[in-house]
Amino acid sequence: MTIEVDSFRKLNLYKQAIRFTQLVLDWTEQNQNEIGWKECLLIRRMATEIPRSIALAATEINVKNKYKKLNRSKEAFQKLMPMLRRYEMGESEKRIVMLSLELVKLFNGFFGMLNRKKNASRG
């Protein structure tokens, strides 16, 4: 059985996570003086963890490992949002919040899809 390495790039969850991460990185670049250097690095690290873990989960064969990596991505996302809400983001806040809501829906949909596949394979 061969797995296409770039298959994760076709996932809508991955695409939206990349867009979300790019918005957060742009926002931290523009507001680096207000945020502070350490906080900015922490936000960037957490933001880049989201699509990275999604890509690792999508290419994983073992379902248990797939869940673990996807949960790691969702946890990074859930820790990042309260950190972002502490700062006044202006217009970019609306885009980040709207994209974050879409990401939550996509995470739930992806977990649902995995559950259906797991239950279907059990018979």
Residue 6: per-residue pLDDT: 53
Average pLDDT over residues 111-116: 78
- Whether 120 shows a pLDDT value over 70: the answer reads no
Assess contact for 57 and 69: CB atoms under 8 A: yes
Helices (H), the chain: 12-30, 32-35, 37-59, 63-85, 91-122
User: What DSSP element (H or E) covers 69?
Assistant: helix 63-85
Q: Rounded mean pLDDT of 101-109?
A: 88
Q: What is the pLDDT of residues 3-23, one digit of tens each?
A: 455 577 778 889 999 999 999
Tens digit of pLDDT for each residue in 56-100?
A: 888 888 878 888 888 899 999 999 988 888 887 777 777 888 888
Here the tokens at position 93 are 């806040």
pLDDT for the residue numbered 121: 62
The pLDDT assigned to 87 comes to 80
Residue boundaries of the structural domains of the chain: 9-122
pLDDT at position 93: 76
Domain at 9-122, CATH class: mainly alpha
